[in-house]
Structure 1
Amino acid sequence: MIPLTASIRTRLRLRHLQLILAVWEHGSLRRASDEIGMTQPAATKALHELEDLLGVTLFERHARGIDPTVFGEAVIRYARVVFADLGTLREELVAIESGNVGAVRLGAVMAPSQDLLTSTIVALKQAHPKLHITVQIDTSDVLVHALQEDQLDLVVGRVPNGWPAEDLTFETLAEEPLSLVTRPQHPISERTSPVRIGELAEYPWIIQPHPSPMREIIDQTFRHSRVALPENTIETSSILTTLSLLRAADMIAVLPTSVARYYQEQGTLAVVPARFRGRLAPYGLILRSNRRATPATQIVIDAIRATAQTGL
């Protein structure tokens, strides 16, 4: 029987979590005990204490070593978060000691990076020059996973359909319309009348990998048009790779309309007059519900909200 939270708080020690991470990394109690400076009998005793405390078996023993059970995997996941938070705590204390505001790890999908994040970061650096911001641009599935693994502090994106999100909060910021793009020299780029999806299937496509929401919309558009997804495709979530491929060949890609218009104004891309039947869900602020935002993270959250409310 799993004990009450109060019992776990009273009896659980960081040494227990340190040991279980070492066992998971090495697959051996002997090597784990060597790494953290414990004797093997002491490590065995500590592991038994932890299993007795939680009321479950954390590892299965076999001839090749030991592997985590489903309970062990859950404890390992939370142990990693605990030690990641301790690392973040130290960084924040060092930042405060040195006169800095702190550090924030921000993840975002492509669309808000063009306007919302640019305006937000410029304003933030003017108000807080020593605020250290790390920005990761990727698909929502990659970013949300990184947020749940404590590799990011907040995400501007969307929670993918069917994603386990009990530990997440979502706050809507804006819509993200999509556009089809090619290089300006593409044969289809001179069309001014609406283009049917079937006419585009003969060309190579650059598409995002599953399970990104944008890929779901692409698949949905082809299904509704009763057209098979092009066989000649390249999967990537990198905007740089997408732009390079579009410049080099007669390919077609899907980009957020704000991004597409920016590159169209630069003369780099052409927007194809084709309509998507599906629409992406609004993107927004995604945070972990079981983690209180640090002062530095709260500054960034407030700035993103303020910028979004002004309509850029």
Structure 2
Amino acid sequence: MLSLRTARLFLVAADAGTLTSAAERLHVSQPAASKALAQLETDLGGALFDRAGRKLILTALGEALLPRARSLIQQAADLKAEAERWRAGEDGVLSLGAGPSVTYRLLPEAVARFYRAGRTVQLTVRAGAAGMLVDQVRRGALDLVAADMGDAVLDPDLVVHPLPEESVTALVRPDHPALKGEAYDRFPLATATPPERLSRQPLPWGRPRPGLVCDDYTVLALACSASDHILAAPRSVVDRLTAEHGLVQLTASSPDLVVRPALIYRANAPHSAARQLLFECFEAVARQA
């Protein structure tokens, strides 16, 4: 009979690649795991894995059922989380992911508004690259992400609410050679945009492939204030970077280069009044920025 336990065994075995590793991760004996998997395959009417020595390889049936099993485990986790929220009167934990420019621009005031509204939810914030954060919201590890939307807008399992776009400009240290007329492509680029995404929208400053990639603009600014790197940054963070780190603008921003921040959460995520309030706080701050 299919159960959450056997569905989890199926998932872990698929991810681990061997039954021995799956048993270790689930803290059960290898014979018990083997027996449970064999019973599951009998109940489902077909083999989920081909065996190549110790290695497990998904069959066509296994490939077809794996997304269903993942969804089942996620729904069980959502059910538990929603029950905990009800028991706690929403005074639980809300997990937010914030992209680099959002951390600088929108996050402080949005969080302030959230708590001024009287919420007592424990808010945990994970800053990082947008792609990583979106992957985590897909897996249910984050409740809400405020970051560049990237390709998330194409995912039907995600709700993507766009925020106002921002143009991108370039900053350098005050005595940078580029300010004296030297060609931009002589100098390395510093950016929060991963190289694979930057290749789709190349910047007109610095070398085509970035020399420094970091999801923290403070780190990028410190590096650029002590080197010949050219820092590409959205307009919203420029004033703060120039004031705090003495950087100067290299050229005017390009209207063709933009970041597209958005609020993102799973379409089938359980309802959360706290998440909705935080969503509204971010939206309000973005409109005023």
TM-score, reference length from structure 1: 0.75
1:114 aligned onto 2:104: yes
Name the Cα RMSD after superposition.
3.4
Return the alpha-carbon distance in structure 2 between the equivalents of residues 71 and 244 of structure 1.
53
Return the alpha-carbon distance in structure 1 between the equivalents of residues 196 and 59 of structure 2.
27
Letter in 1 for 2:103: S
Structure 2 residue runs without a partner (length 5+): none
Indicate the larger mover: 229-238 or 279-288: 229-238
Calculate percent identity across the aligned residue pairs: 23
The answer for the alignment partner of 1:155 in structure 2 is 145
The answer for the alignment partner of 1:48 in structure 2 is 42
1:199 aligned onto 2:183: yes
Offset from partner CA, 1:270-305 (integer Å, 9 cap, x none) = 221244352325322222223243232122112222
Indicate the larger mover: 74-83 or 249-258: 74-83
1:144 aligned onto 2:134: yes
Letter in 1 for 2:116: Q
Query: Is the CA contact 1:103–1:296 (under 8 Å) kept in the aligned structure 2?
Result: no
Query: Is the CA contact 2:234–2:258 (under 8 Å) kept in the aligned structure 1?
Result: no
Offset from partner CA, 1:159-195 (integer Å, 9 cap, x none) = 3249751212222221111110112342445x7xxx7
Shift of 1:23: 2.0
The answer for the alignment partner of 1:132 in structure 2 is 122
Distance 1:20-1:179 versus aligned 2 partners, 3 A rule: same
Distance 1:75-1:230 versus aligned 2 partners, 3 A rule: same
Return the alpha-carbon distance in structure 1 between the equivalents of residues 188 and 157 of structure 2.
39
The answer for the alignment partner of 2:196 in structure 1 is 211
Query: Is the CA contact 1:186–1:250 (under 8 Å) kept in the aligned structure 2?
Result: yes
Distance 1:162-1:111 versus aligned 2 partners, 3 A rule: closer
Indicate the larger mover: 263-272 or 230-239: 230-239
Letter in 1 for 2:189: W
Indicate the larger mover: 234-243 or 90-99: 90-99
Higher normalized strand content (fraction of residues): 2
Indicate the larger mover: 106-115 or 229-238: 229-238
Query: Is the CA contact 2:99–2:215 (under 8 Å) kept in the aligned structure 1?
Result: no
Q: Aligned with 2:123: secondary structure?
A: strand
Return the alpha-carbon distance in structure 2 between the equivalents of residues 173 and 164 of structure 1.
16
TM-score, reference length from structure 2: 0.80
Shift of 1:216: 3.5
Return the alpha-carbon distance in structure 1 between the equivalents of residues 221 and 50 of structure 2.
49
Shift of 1:229: 3.4
Distance 1:202-1:300 versus aligned 2 partners, 3 A rule: same
Shift of 1:138: 2.7
Return the alpha-carbon distance in structure 2 between the equivalents of residues 250 and 81 of structure 1.
48
Distance 1:183-1:88 versus aligned 2 partners, 3 A rule: farther
Map 1:244-283 onto structure 2 (within 5 A).
244-276=222-254, 278-280=256-258, 282-283=260-261
Offset from partner CA, 1:203-252 (integer Å, 9 cap, x none) = 2222332333x5643x1547xxxxx9357723333324312311221211
Query: Is the CA contact 2:162–2:262 (under 8 Å) kept in the aligned structure 1?
Result: yes
Offset from partner CA, 1:123-162 (integer Å, 9 cap, x none) = 1123345212222233332222222122222222343249
